[in-house]
Amino acid sequence: MNINVPRGTEDLLPEQTKRWQVIENTFKRLAEVYHYQEIRTPIFERTELFQRGVGDSTDIVQKEMYTFEDRGGRNLTLRPEGTASVARAYVQHKLHGKVDQPSKLYYIGPMFRYERPQQGRTRQFTQFGIEAIGSADPAIDAEVIAFAMDSYQALGLKSLKLVLNSLGDKESREAHRQALVNHFTPYKNELCGDCQNRLEQNPLRLLDCKVDRDHPSMKNAPSILEYLNDYSSNYFEEVKKHLDAMEIKYTVDETLVRGLDYYTHTAFEIMSESEGFGAITTLSGGGRYNGLIQDLGGPEMSGIGFALSIERLLMALDAEKVELEQPKELDCFVITLGDEAKYASSKLVNTLRKNNLKIDQDYLGKKMKAQFKAADRYNAKFVVILGEEEVQSGVVNVKNIETGEEQSVEFDDVARLIKERV
């Protein structure tokens, strides 16, 4: 029996990684533009981190974690998301004590959730995310949202919808929680088993239930927006004013609750509105988490961030038929004819590479025509033809494939000539 990849995971072959690199480079460039710096945390963490950080009553913690005991008996979990890890690192390394505040961090890496695999939902997926920790200024909420939108727009996506809500502060949430309990308790026996537990543990999660989504009690469930206290509703207004100032369009959706427990105040999601897009239309999500740093043993510091998965981003690119512009693979392909030329070719290829040029040559003894074809496939800018005659004279012909322009130069001058033109 052949061994294939585990369910819900995939191999990315060079045809695909080329696109991934364009995307990742775009994110890294945007991170520079928005002044965020990279953080890398371990792929696995102590299970307790996610229980406390993401929340014991969330689907992620209850049903989706890859948890295992290592040989030393430690309880570990493959990270299902990045925010809890970044918050842990922030506390552990006392980043709040550094001069540069807020800490503006980004990450790209694999996350793991045991979900039912379908289009846009895999068990290993790659998130790009940012976290800005140490500021409770509504302007930074708008910055994070702008960055999230830019992550798609910079790649050429257009059919996007930004959905916004506020989950309020602790006091507002408590008032809303009580209202939810009062509202749903009369229907308790009609709700699914999970929701019956949610009613006790975390009633907000009821609004996120996929089973009871169409139960009549969902329609007129109390809206968080009616329970925001003055501070929370002012904060929400301020965030919206900053978005207006940036001319970023949004729709307020009071039913948007997000699937993780750490959120306070701003919560948002970006959806694809493209026709060819699959059933899962959420491309990314994020929000503010003002209690998380404290819950993990740090000082009272507020944070906000968002994360997208590259897998869903690729679905959106396909749905909108966006072709990513890919850099040329090769600066020059060296075409070699005859045994004598092979040593000269090795030398030339080596010199060109030492000059930081992207170079390849034939290793299959192909005829000249086939070597030209290879140069074409690799999208090379130049070809150099190296046969016995060239070895004798020490002069080669450098041809620009696009313009057809040719120039004869000595071996030692090839690197300079190509460098001038690329």
Q: Is 113 in the site for ligand HAM (CB under 6 A)?
A: yes
Q: What share of the chain is helix, strand, coil (3-state, %, to 5)?
A: 45, 20, 35
Write the binding mask 221 to 260 for ligand HAM: x where contact by CB under 6 A, - elsewhere.
--------------------------------------xx
- Interface with ligand HAM (CB under 6 A), residue total 27
- Does the bond joining 203 to the residue before it have cis omega, within 30 degrees of 0? no
Going by their DSSP bridges, the two strands 359-361 and 332-336 should be labelled as parallel
Among 45, 59, 81, 141, binds ligand HAM (CB under 6 A): 81
Q: What does the alpha-carbon distance between residue 141 and residue 204 come to, in Å, rounded to a whole number? A: 22
* Residue 53 within binding range of ligand HAM, rule CB under 6 A: no
CB 303 within 8 A of CB 288: yes
Kindly report the backbone phi and psi dihedral angles of residue 254, in degrees, each rounded to the nearest multiple of 5, phi listed first: -70, -10
Closest to ligand HAM by CB, 254 or 311: 311
User: Which residues are CB-contacts of 127 (< 8 A; sequence separation ≥ 6)?
Assistant: 81, 82, 107, 108, 109, 110, 111, 307, 308, 309, 310
CB of 10 to ligand HAM, least distance (A): 11
Give residues 309-348 in contact with ligand HAM (rule: CB under 6 A): 309, 311-312
As measured in angstroms, the least distance from the Cβ of 53 to ligand HAM is 9
Of 141 and 212, which CB lies nearer to ligand HAM in the complex structure?
141
Q: Is 156 in the site for ligand HAM (CB under 6 A)?
A: no
- The half-sphere exposure of 288 on its side-chain side, counting CA atoms within 13 A, is 27
Which residue number, 141 or 331, has a Cβ lying nearer to ligand HAM? 141
Residue nearest to ligand HAM (CB): 305
Q: How far is the CB of 111 from ligand HAM (least distance, A)?
A: 7
Other beta carbons within 10 Å of 282: 16
Query: Which x/- pattern over 258-297 shows residues binding ligand HAM (rule: CB under 6 A)?
Result: -xx---------------------xxxxxx----------
CB 86 within 8 A of CB 66: no
The phi, psi pair for 92, rounded to 5°, reads -60, -40
Summarize as ranges the residues that interact with ligand HAM (CB under 6 A).
81-83, 113, 115, 120-122, 125, 127, 129, 131, 259-260, 282-287, 305-309, 311-312
